[in-house]
């Protein structure tokens, strides 16, 4: 199922006979790239050639059971796609189709291919067998090997216009849709997945940092207060807040009317921006270790202690 904001991109696709044998579907997270790619795979095996949704092949594809469609992803609990998966994909595409006219393989997220797996795909990309198609889905196309990017046609999907995103969220019954969309940086599917706790997290973090900067709270207690409701995207949220602080601090403009901007401006005046950059660097280092087992208490204690040290 593709989403309403993808219709224009869908209509720009060439027909099946003129579609590139290897396609990169790229775009930011949370906009439905995989849904788009799955419907394209359905179109490629459809008896009518249009993802009719009612023919035998479309019904099999919709159930995830079509023998001529293969989906490749990291194994549960793993962060990479190994070379064996790429070799299996190559072998799959080389076989004669069972039911449809074509065989289709999807890789999502394609940027999770390890180097050996990516190299294993090159022969298939250079000499695609028969009626075979490869669709790579990624939010980070720059992480794909240049040799892969050069052999694929790229289709970029954009975030929907705000009105379209809000219309979708309202139809899905998402509460506080505007705030959720802002929190998800305009990505409707990310906004739809937000919990109530995640939606209130930015205000909660700001409410912890204010007394810390005013010396009414120490770093260890601030860390404990934050960890009580810390979500998986806590580091991302902290980095975003630091970016806002730096922007406001460097601009040295008068507070705007918005309450959050006023509070951030007041916070920025109590900080040494050069030391804020150190906190930012530390957060980036912790994010680079996201796939490793982390002592979250030690991590957050360190972040808050460094932030405390950034007080002017």
Domain ranges in the chain are 4-158, 195-309
Where does the pLDDT of residue 211 fall: very low under 50, low under 70, confident under 90, or very high at 90 and above?
very high
- Of 197, 172, 152, which Cα lies nearest the Cα of 37? 152
CATH number attached to the domain at 195-309: 1.20.272
- At the second CATH level, the architecture of 4-158 is 3-Layer(aba) Sandwich (3.40)
pLDDT digits (tens, 9 = 90+) for 260-282: 888 888 898 899 988 999 999 99
Nearest Cα to Cα of residue 106 among 51, 193, 42, 188: 42
Q: What is the pLDDT of residues 129-172, one digit of tens each?
A: 989 999 999 999 999 999 999 999 999 999 999 999 999 999 99
- pTM of the shown model: 0.81
Encode pLDDT of 3-28 as tens digits.
999 999 999 999 999 999 999 999 99
pLDDT at residue 29 above 80? yes
Q: Which residue has the tokens 């199922």?
A: 1
């Amino acid at each position: 199922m593709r989403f309403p904001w993808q219709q224009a991109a869908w209509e720009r696709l060439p027909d099946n006979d003129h579609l590139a044998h290897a396609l990169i579907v790229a775009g930011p997270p949370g906009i439905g790239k995989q849904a788009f790619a799955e419907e394209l795979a359905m179109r490629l095996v459809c008896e009518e050639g249009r993802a009719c949704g009612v023919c035998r092949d479309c019904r099999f594809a919709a159930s995830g059971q079509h023998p001529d469609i293969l989906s490749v992803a990291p194994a549960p609990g793993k962060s990479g796609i190994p070379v064996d998966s790429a070799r299996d994909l190559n072998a799959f595409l080389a076989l004669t189709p069972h039911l449809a006219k074509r065989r289709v393989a999807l890789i999502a997220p394609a940027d999770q291919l390890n180097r050996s797996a990516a190299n294993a795909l090159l022969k298939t990309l250079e000499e695609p067998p028969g009626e075979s198609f490869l669709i790579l889905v990624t939010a980070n196309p720059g992480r794909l090997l240049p040799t892969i990017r050069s052999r694929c046609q790229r289709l970029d999907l954009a975030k929907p216009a705000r009105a379209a995103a809000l219309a979708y969220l309202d139809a899905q019954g998402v509460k506080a849709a505007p705030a959720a969309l802002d929190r998800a940086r305009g990505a409707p599917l990310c906004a739809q997945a937000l919990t109530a706790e995640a939606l209130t997290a930015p205000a909660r973090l700001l409410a912890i940092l204010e007394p810390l900067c005013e010396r009414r709270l120490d770093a260890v207690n601030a860390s404990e207060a934050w960890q009580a409701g810390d979500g998986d995207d806590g580091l991302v949220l902290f980095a975003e807040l630091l970016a806002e602080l730096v922007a406001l601090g460097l601009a040295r403009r008068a507070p705007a009317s918005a309450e959050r901007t006023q509070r951030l401006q007041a916070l920025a005046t109590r900080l040494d921006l050069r030391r804020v950059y150190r906190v930012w660097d530390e957060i980036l280092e912790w994010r680079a270790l996201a796939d490793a087992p982390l002592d979250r208490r030690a991590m957050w204690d360190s972040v808050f202690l460094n932030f405390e040290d950034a007080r002017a």
